Amino acid sequence: MKDELLHIYRNTPFGRETLLHSIYFCKQTKTSLKVYIPEHPQFLMYFQNEIATVDLDKAFLRSPKTAREHAEAIITENGLKPNFLEPKRFTASTLPDIPVDFRFMTCPRSVSDLSTKISLGHIGPKVRSIIKNASFPVFIPTPVYKKWESIAVFFGGSQNAVNAVKLGLQISRCSDLPLRLFTQAEKQPQSHYRKILKANHLLDEIESDEVKWTFFEKGKFRENLFAVPHHSLILVGAYGHGVIKEVIFGSMMEEIQTVLPNNMLIVGPNCACG
């Protein structure tokens, strides 16, 4: 796996904001930035269990003559070296194959619908398909660039949540930013969740790093989300309950991505980030 973040560039003001997010993410995680400037409205990603066809909205193909120049300027001005992905394989003449051996990938909430049509509480089906199948976590930034100053991991006890905690610890140490855990009790005491962390050799790390753990024993989850700092990068595990039109994230995951306006890093069911 390459120690890189894949970014699909849109040559628009919103695209500039998303690229600034990716640049900041790479700096905080000590990851290299790889930028793909699409020349075609579709591309393929050959995952282990599924081939994902990604349809891009028209904004990704806007003003192609200035796209590379704009991207290079944004990247250089923010202290990174431009590094562009040039597809080497094509399933058809206008259908490039994009590698899937990255450490992270940045996706806006939708890549197939105009950003003006996508509400905060909706993640498009193509992005969900990537999250479902990718071996890497998917970074979903806010529409407007905003730095994150802490890490918030939601831990509900699933294996994907365990992976999110592992990744949160890595990013916290790499970025030197504080980490917090959030858990909504589901008829289980905190000791139940501590046992899961201990079984996965994480409890000692959490205690040695003095990670603050907010455990919601009362109240509705949606209302408790107000306690999450607005400047936190959120890490959460997504998991499926079967295929119904597209991947179902799970009730808590849907609540988080619907209610919170934070930047999110989503750990999918096939993520190998442990």
Residue ending a domain, choose from 110, 140, 170: 140
Q: Please state at what angle helix 13-29 crosses helix 159-175, rounded to 10 degrees.
A: 80
Rounded to whole angstroms, how far apart are CA atoms 218 and 202?
Answer: 25
> Could you list the mean pLDDT of each consecutive 10-residue stretch along the chain, which spans 274 residues?
92 95 97 96 91 88 94 98 95 93 88 49 74 92 93 92 94 96 89 95 91 92 93 85 41 79 91 72
Q: What is the pTM of this model?
A: 0.91
Q: Give the total number of structural domains in the chain.
A: 2
Rounded to whole angstroms, how far apart are CA atoms 32 and 83?
Answer: 9
How much is the pLDDT for 244?
Answer: 33
Residue 190 Cα to chain centre, angstroms: 27
116 shares a domain with 156: no
Beta bridge partners of 183: 215
189 shares a domain with 214: yes
Residue ending a domain, choose from 112, 140, 168: 140
Q: Work out the number of other CB atoms within 10 angstroms of the CB of residue 215.
A: 14
CA dihedral 137, 142, 148, 151 (to 10 degrees): -40
How much is the pLDDT for 239?
Answer: 61
CA distances from 177 to 83, 225, 233 (A): 27, 20, 10
List, in order, residues 6 or more apart from 207 with CB less than 8 Å away: none
Sheet holding 4-8, edge to edge: 32-36, 4-8, 104-106, 138-140, 264-267, 232-237, 150-154, 179-184, 212-216
Q: What is the CATH number of the domain that holds 243?
A: 3.40.50.620
Cα angle 28-109-119, degrees, rounded to a multiple of 5: 125
Structural domain for 10, as ranges: 4-140
Residue among 6, 11, 112, 107 at smallest CA distance from 53: 112
215 shares a domain with 263: yes
Residue 13 Cα to chain centre, angstroms: 21
How much is the pLDDT for 99?
Answer: 94
Residue ending a domain, choose from 113, 140, 167: 140
Strands annotated E in 13-146: 32-36, 42-46, 51-55, 89-92, 95-97, 104-106, 138-140
